[in-house]
Amino acid sequence: MLILFLFLAQASYAQEFSKKITVNNDLEIVQLTPSVYLHISYAEFTGFGRVACNGMILTAGDKAFLFDTPPTDQLTKQLVEWISQTLMLKVVGFIPNHWHIDCMGGLAYLQSIGVKSYANQMTIDIAKAKNLPVPTHGFKDSLKLNLGTAEIDCYYPGAGHSMDNIVVWIPSEKVLFPGCLVKEVNAKGLGNTLDGDLKAYPQTIEKVLRKFPDAKIVIPGHGAFGGIELVRHTKELLKM
Task: Compute the distance between CA of residue 51 and CA of residue 71 in angstroms, rounded to an integer.
Answer: 10
Is residue 186 flagged as an active site residue?
A: no
Q: Which of 53, 164, 180, 233 is catalytic?
A: 180
Cα separation, 14 vs 216, whole angstroms: 11
Using alpha carbons only, how large is the chain's radius of gyration in Å? 17
Residue 68 annotated among the catalytic residues of the structure: no
**Annotated active-site residue in 100, 103, 154, 233:** 100
- Catalytic annotation present for 161: yes
What sign for the dihedral angle of Cα 179, 182, 183, 189? positive
Q: Catalytic residue at 180? A: yes
Residue 137 falls in the annotated catalytic set: no
Please, which residues have CB within 8 angstroms of residue 240's CB and are 6 or more apart in sequence?
A: 189
Which residue is catalytic, options 54, 68, 97, 102? Answer: 102
Cα torsion angle, 172, 173, 178, 179, sign: negative
192 an active-site residue?
yes
Q: Which of 192, 195, 197, 216 is catalytic?
A: 192
CA distances 196 to 63, 73, 189, 191, Å, are 34, 25, 14, 11
Considering 54, 103, 222, 233, which one is annotated as catalytic? Answer: 222
The active-site residue, picked from 53, 54, 68, 98, is: 98
Whether residue 73 lies in the annotated active site: no
Q: Would residue 39 show up in a list of annotated catalytic residues for this protein? A: no
Q: State the first-to-last Cα distance of the chain, in angstroms, to the nearest integer.
A: 42
Catalytic (active-site) positions = 98, 100, 102, 161, 180, 183, 192, 222
